[in-house]
Amino acid sequence: MDQATLPQFLMRLASFAGYKDVPTVCGSMTFLLPPFKLVSSRLVRAGGRVWEAWSPNSERVAFYPGVPDPRFVTETPDEHARRRADGHLGRFDPTRNPQLLDHEKLWYPFVRPDCDAPPATYPEYSAFHEVWNTKEQSFAPEFLTRLADRVKSILKSAELQAGMAVSHPALWKNRPKDLDVSLVEALRALSRYDTALDLYARLQRAAKLLSAWSKMAQALKDRPPSPSMYNSAVRMASSGWMGAWINGASQEDATWLLRLGIPCYIVHEVETYRERQAYASRSSYPSFTVFSPVHDAVRSKPAADASMENQGWSLNLSDPDEWICKRVPPSTWLERCRSSSAGQGWRSDEYSSPPEFLSPFEEANGHILPPPVMGTGQHAGKWSLWLQDWVEDYGLCLVRQASMRRGNDIDGTCYYDREKRRCLVLDEKAVPPFSYLAPVDKFGLPAPDVPYLSVKPGGADPVYQKESVSTWMYCAKEATPADLDSIYEEVVFTADQEQELEVDAPMVVDSPRESLSPSMSAASRHSLSRSLAPARGQSCSPAFTFPLSSAESYFRLARSLSPTPPSVAAPLSPAAASAASSRPLANSPFCTPLSVAPSFPFAPTFLSAPSFPFATSFPVSPPSFPLAAS
């Protein structure tokens, strides 16, 4: 390229910039899989937390992109600095990486991956720098001819699926519409490297997505979802499909993909002490990119980046991915348990009935609800001192000390289990679980999910024995009279409203419930519901729905309400009584933000105490048992 025609060093993103950024993880499963074998599994440590990424039907190590910002679209960014050196759209590009399964984009898993698409047969999979002649500043005419023929073939296949307009109108309406033969003709007239790259990348995406849509439509016609698929054993997947991460997806969509032999992947957070012990002997990886198809490209400079730098562009290597979702609602305890291979019924080397799970805390809409503020007056006995320690065979634990008198000489942060009258000293300040939003200084937080040990008296070497675990702890030893028996009330947001929130910290409102301005316009209000947690021994209180102002609803409001004395209890009005309903549960798939990393494990283990297996290391042998025909 002549020096006079060089662009003014436009800044672009490196092809795989931001791929190492910690994703926002959707770690829920709302249903049980059909009988399966654990085909692959790996542990990833990222953001201070541990995750199991596994598959019931694929040996491929897939990259996990996470949850995208709801504003993300599969289009070339308007800003040149946000465009990538190879033209793809980053981690959330469905033609490059498996995405979270979404019914509105049900064709994404049907995309053919690069590893299974030889450019000689599929010219749309040819890399730009391999088909662009830098000396001639154009594409080879014979390549464009082959590309045009391929585009015509894809368009013809899509036309044959016109019946989708009747059978699946939503999927027909949302089908990819960007592909046209005129795009190939436009490529013939381009001579600038960056302009040709962007248009070619657009054509590539359009061709891959429309081809995938046609395959999905044909599969819906030939092998539609049916009740029998829920009981058919999971079959091994084909390498010819991109696949999907099925956390948060509907049972019908995910099971249908499994029946078709399309790769399905699941991610699960390793939360409990029992799980951590089961996984203790396994190695882990520092990122979801390791050993995935993007591993080499992230570690070294791809050929596309080198080619663009040779054309005079500067590439941004470390720009964070702006499309990673900032905040999403957490999932329920049961949904998180079901996302593990063990929670789905895998037992070391065979499938069995999934275990029963019981949440250790009351939950509403995926958030832990604290118990009414407890005092110590109703509990007798002396206080005991427990120190954080590391004990062989037990790992991180809390050990009971012989005397409380050592408390003044101990470094650390002290918390109080008022029920068991324990002083729990942790090395660092406790961070609440990501699904707990109540004010910690008043309502406390879950106690560490670790072994609680005491030392048997006598003997030269300490002999440890297990004690009952603490479940809840407070920052102060005693509750103030005003706080005693207070009940936490939570504002419940819809999934769309959760995605709009940009802040992670809850706002505490200390004033009693106030009336809301009736002059607020309907457009500036959000209809939310507040759920009142019941006191111990009482049934769930009804939930009432009423509008909140925009300013009030922008934050999650945490309130404390002192119980009404019996002598002044006010009956509900007829209108309020008729509006009462049971606490609502969110129906949308919940996701877990990975960015919030507790420094100490919380939430007690399963109350039903299932036997957690030692997970199989990656890779696991494919199924050897006969599979049902599908």
Across residues 190-206, what is the average pLDDT? Answer: 96
The percentage of residues in the chain with a pLDDT greater than 70, rounded to a whole number, is 75
Token pair recorded at residue 191: 């001579």
Q: What is the pLDDT of residue 327?
A: 75
Crossing angle of helices 141-159 and 181-188, in 10° steps, is 170
Q: Is 556 part of any domain?
A: no
Q: Report the run of H or E that residue 309 belongs to, with start and end.
A: helix 303-310
Q: Is 305 part of any domain?
A: yes
User: What residue type is assigned to position 280 of the chain?
Assistant: A
Q: Domain end: 443, 473, 503, which one? A: 473
Nearest to 257 by CA among 114, 116, 106: 106
Q: Is 620 part of any domain?
A: no
Same domain, 468 and 327: no
Same domain, 76 and 119: yes
Q: What is the pLDDT of residue 503?
A: 41
Same domain, 221 and 147: yes
Q: Is 302 part of any domain?
A: yes
Task: Give bridge partners of residue 265 from the DSSP assignment.
Answer: 245
Q: What is the pLDDT of residue 179?
A: 97
Please give the DSSP secondary-structure letter assigned to residue 608.
Answer: T
Q: Where are the alpha helices (DSSP H) in 24-140?
A: 128-131
* Beta strand segments in 432-556, E: 445-446, 452-455, 464-466, 472-473, 487-492, 507-508, 525-532, 544-549
Same domain, 395 and 432: yes
Lowest mean pLDDT across 196-210, 215-229, 290-304: 290-304
Same domain, 78 and 149: yes
Kindly report, residue by residue over 102-117, the tens digit of the pLDDT: 999 999 999 999 988 9
Q: Domain end: 438, 473, 508, which one? A: 473
Q: Report the run of H or E that residue 416 belongs to, with start and end.
A: strand 413-417
Q: Rounded to whole angstroms, how far apart are CA atoms 498 and 331?
A: 13
Q: What is the pLDDT of residue 510?
A: 34
The single residue listed with the structure tokens 């316009």 is 521
Q: What is the pLDDT of residue 576?
A: 35
Per residue, what are the HEC states of 214-240?
Answer: HHHHHHHHHCCCCHHHHCCCCCCCCCC
Same domain, 341 and 372: no
Q: Rounded to whole angstroms, how far apart are CA atoms 375 and 378?
A: 7
Lowest mean pLDDT across 151-155, 168-172, 425-429, 508-512: 508-512
Token pair recorded at residue 35: 């009988």
Kindly report, residue by residue over 553-603, the tens digit of the pLDDT: 222 333 333 333 333 333 333 333 333 333 333 333 333 333 333 334 444
pLDDT higher at 283 or 405: 283
Could you tell me the CA-to-CA distances from 419 to 399, 416, 442, 607 in Å, in that order?
18, 9, 16, 19
pLDDT higher at 503 or 295: 295
pLDDT higher at 530 or 347: 347
Q: Rounded to whole angstroms, how far apart are CA atoms 210 and 159?
A: 11
Same domain, 341 and 425: no
Query: pLDDT confidence of 405, banded at 50, 70, 90?
Result: low
Chain centroid to CA 419: 34
Same domain, 377 and 238: no
Q: What is the pLDDT of residue 406?
A: 57
- Report whether pLDDT(471) > 70: yes
> How many CB atoms neighbour CB 512 within 10 A?
9
The backbone torsions φ and ψ at residue 413, rounded to the nearest 5 degrees and listed phi first, read: -105, 130
The single residue listed with the structure tokens 């006969």 is 626
Q: Is 129 part of any domain?
A: yes
Q: Rounded to whole angstroms, how far apart are CA atoms 272 and 340?
A: 12
pLDDT higher at 316 or 570: 316
Q: Where are the alpha helices (DSSP H) in 160-302?
A: 164-167, 169-173, 181-188, 193-222, 251-260, 273-278, 295-299
Q: What is the pLDDT of residue 491?
A: 59
- Report whether pLDDT(501) > 70: no
Mean pLDDT across the chain: 78
336 touches 269 (CB < 8 A): yes
Lowest mean pLDDT across 45-59, 257-271, 525-539: 525-539
Q: What is the pLDDT of residue 392?
A: 86
Q: Rounded to whole angstroms, how far apart are CA atoms 230 and 294?
A: 33
Token pair recorded at residue 603: 């939430």
Parallel/antiparallel/unpaired status of strands 557-561 and 346-347: unpaired
Q: Where are the alpha helices (DSSP H) in 321-418?
A: 333-338
Q: What is the pLDDT of residue 275?
A: 83
Same domain, 54 and 152: yes
Please give the span between the terminal C-alpha atoms of the chain, in angstroms, as a whole number: 56
Q: Is 550 part of any domain?
A: no
Q: Is 604 part of any domain?
A: no
- Report whether pLDDT(613) > 60: no
Across residues 209-226, what is the average pLDDT? Answer: 97
The single residue listed with the structure tokens 């068991």 is 420
Dihedral angle computed from the Cα positions of residues 153, 155, 158 and 162, in that order, rounded to the nearest 10 degrees: -130
Across residues 150-164, what is the average pLDDT? Answer: 97
* Beta strand segments in 259-393, E: 264-269, 284-285, 314-316, 346-347, 350-351, 362-364, 367-369, 384-391
Same domain, 322 and 444: no
pLDDT higher at 58 or 624: 58
Same domain, 11 and 152: yes
> How many domains is the chain built from?
2
User: What residue type is assigned to position 204 of the chain?
Assistant: Q
pLDDT higher at 343 or 504: 343
Kindly report, residue by residue over 418-439, the tens digit of the pLDDT: 999 999 999 888 888 777 889 9
Q: Domain end: 320, 351, 382, which one? A: 351
Q: Rounded to whole angstroms, how far apart are CA atoms 145 and 523?
A: 53
Q: Is 497 part of any domain?
A: no
Q: Rounded to whole angstroms, how far apart are CA atoms 548 and 587?
A: 22
11 touches 316 (CB < 8 A): yes
Could you tell me the CA-to-CA distances from 523 to 493, 499, 545, 549, 625 in Å, in that order?
16, 18, 17, 10, 58
**Which of 38-42, 276-280, 582-586 is most confident?**
38-42
Q: Rounded to whole angstroms, how far apart are CA atoms 32 and 36?
A: 11
Nearest to 184 by CA among 222, 228, 139, 226: 139
Same domain, 284 and 428: no
User: Domain range spanning residue 376?
Assistant: 368-473
The vertex-409 CA angle with 406 and 413, nearest 5°, equals: 95
> How many CB atoms neighbour CB 87 within 10 A?
25
